[in-house]
């Protein structure tokens, strides 16, 4: 098979074997064109054996469309809320999480492709929630900031959730519960935010110099928890690409939409792709016309929360922004813990508004993700570095 047919240009494709030796030749495998991968976190069906085909037939609690693009050396992750309403063949309107149990990854990929103007879905990965627990435990836990105390019974298994707010190192079970905890007033949206926070924490741990040499061993151990149509050579190319992506080029956002007030299910999430040409182009690769008259950053909705030890700094930031022409500013409750560095969270899926706001503020670490206040385009979390 020719390299240009599959988007990969590995050297020695026919001679390398699936072994630690192959991993040692990771740099030989290069991603040569953009690739879209559908990633689904599947709750194993009770009574099935981990790794069996039947174990991956459950509903998908987590759904991500991951685009790896060598042209700008970026990875972009689009989170799709499980309650997103789509049309399934012979089913009518249904939640996207039901596509996998109804027709497996083929149906899930087909529905998502159609939703995004026939965007290509090149490969899929299904992983079980038990695989997430095992991975976190094998990594020695993940460091997560828990924004508020979480205490309840997990609805699916009756497992108690008891996490206090603040920085913690979560084990596998705690990480799963952190990602799956539901706030009834926000449906699945706050859970998407926590899932993205967990993804960031996992990537940080995987990039640890102590962990990187263990990737071959981790891959063998985790194999039974994953179902994918990726070939091993493709995995090598993707891994080589991912470990070399700069932090600023790893970006996340959430599929835009709204909860329907008219649905019988209050957690139904309805798509709203109006004016989202840049998201479609950058996150799914649909070549659409992008308007150049996008609103200036001063016209966007800005949320401000204080994560410093100085309560008066909130008013100072607001006044500073108002002198620069900002009018759509509001405050949200202070962060639970002081932090050294100011952060700017961009929820529009593109880094540019954050860069403009950073220039105006003079400080701020930019993060393109679904974090921040749900009603805002950008959220400023003020740190101790604000002058």
Q: Using one digit for the tens of pLDDT, what is the confidence trace for 224-254? A: 889 999 988 888 899 889 888 998 899 999 9
How many residues appear in the chain? 387
The stretch 100-118 carries a mean pLDDT of 93
Query: Worst-scoring range by mean pLDDT, 37-51, 171-185, 225-239, 367-381?
Result: 171-185
Distance between CA atoms of residues 371 and 254, nearest Å: 9
Query: Worst-scoring range by mean pLDDT, 85-89, 261-265, 316-320?
Result: 261-265
Inform me whether the pLDDT recorded for 158 exceeds 60: no
Distance between CA atoms of residues 366 and 363, nearest Å: 9
- Average per-residue pLDDT in the chain? 84
299-358 pLDDT tens trace:
999 999 999 998 899 999 999 999 999 999 999 998 888 899 999 999 878 889 999 999
Q: What pLDDT does 185 receive? A: 60
Given a contact cutoff of 8 angstroms between Cβ atoms, the answer to whether 132 and 190 are in contact is no
The stretch 246-264 carries a mean pLDDT of 83
C-alpha 215, offset from chain centre: 21
- Reported as a pLDDT band with limits 50, 70 and 90, residue 187 is low
Handedness of CA 109, 56, 195, 73 (dihedral sign): negative
Tokens linked to 193: 């935010």
The stretch 152-159 carries a mean pLDDT of 56
Q: Which are the contacts of 272, defined by CB distance < 8 A and separation ≥ 6?
A: 256, 257, 258
- Reported as a pLDDT band with limits 50, 70 and 90, residue 363 is very high
**Which comes out higher in pLDDT, residue 276 or 284?**
284
The proportion of the chain whose per-residue pLDDT surpasses 70, expressed as a percent, equals 87
Handedness of CA 105, 227, 175, 139 (dihedral sign): negative
Query: Worst-scoring range by mean pLDDT, 14-28, 79-93, 166-180, 276-290?
Result: 14-28
Distance between CA atoms of residues 214 and 384, nearest Å: 37
- Reported as a pLDDT band with limits 50, 70 and 90, residue 18 is very low
Q: What pLDDT does 16 receive? A: 33
Inform me whether the pLDDT recorded for 123 exceeds 90: yes
Inform me whether the pLDDT recorded for 31 exceeds 70: yes
Given a contact cutoff of 8 angstroms between Cβ atoms, the answer to whether 310 and 297 are in contact is no
The residue to which tokens 């990969």 are assigned: 8
């Amino acid at each position: 098979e020719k390299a240009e047919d599959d988007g990969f240009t590995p050297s020695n494709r026919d001679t390398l074997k699936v072994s630690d030796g192959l991993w040692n030749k990771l740099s030989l495998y290069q991603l040569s064109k953009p690739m879209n991968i559908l990633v689904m976190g599947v709750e194993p069906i009770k009574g099935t054996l981990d790794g069996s085909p039947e174990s991956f037939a459950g509903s998908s609690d987590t759904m991500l469309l991951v685009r790896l693009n060598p042209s700008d050396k970026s990875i972009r992750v689009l989170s799709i809320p499980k309650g997103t309403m789509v049309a399934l063949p012979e089913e009518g309107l249904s939640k996207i999480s039901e596509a996998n149990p109804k027709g497996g990854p083929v149906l899930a990929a087909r529905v998502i492709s159609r939703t995004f103007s026939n965007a290509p879905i090149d490969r899929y990965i299904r992983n079980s929630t038990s695989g997430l627990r095992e991975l976190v435990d094998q990594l020695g836990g993940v460091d997560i900031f828990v924004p508020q105390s979480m205490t309840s019974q997990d609805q699916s298994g009756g497992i108690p959730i008891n996490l206090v707010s603040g920085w913690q190192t979560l084990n596998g079970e705690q990480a799963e519960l952190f990602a799956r905890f539901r706030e009834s007033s926000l449906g699945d949206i706050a859970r998407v935010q926590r899932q993205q926070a967990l993804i960031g924490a996992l990537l940080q741990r995987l990039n640890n110099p102590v962990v990187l040499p263990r990737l071959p061993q981790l891959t063998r151990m985790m194999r039974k928890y994953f179902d994918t149509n990726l070939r091993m050579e493709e995995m090598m190319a993707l891994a080589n690409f991912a470990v070399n992506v700069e932090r600023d080029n790893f970006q996340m956002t959430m599929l835009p939409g709204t909860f329907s007030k008219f649905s019988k299910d209050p957690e139904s999430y309805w798509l709203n792709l109006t004016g989202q040409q840049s998201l479609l182009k950058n996150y799914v690769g649909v070549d659409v016309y992008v308007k150049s008259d996008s609103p200036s950053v001063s016209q966007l909705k800005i949320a401000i929360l204080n994560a410093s030890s100085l309560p008066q700094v909130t008013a100072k930031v607001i006044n500073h922004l108002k002198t620069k022409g900002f009018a759509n500013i509001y405050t949200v409750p202070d962060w639970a813990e002081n932090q050294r560095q100011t952060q700017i969270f961009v929820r529009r899926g593109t880094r540019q508004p954050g860069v403009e706001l950073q220039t105006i503020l003079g400080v701020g670490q930019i993060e393109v993700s679904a974090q921040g206040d749900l009603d805002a385009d950008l959220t400023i979390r003020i740190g101790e570095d604000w002058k």
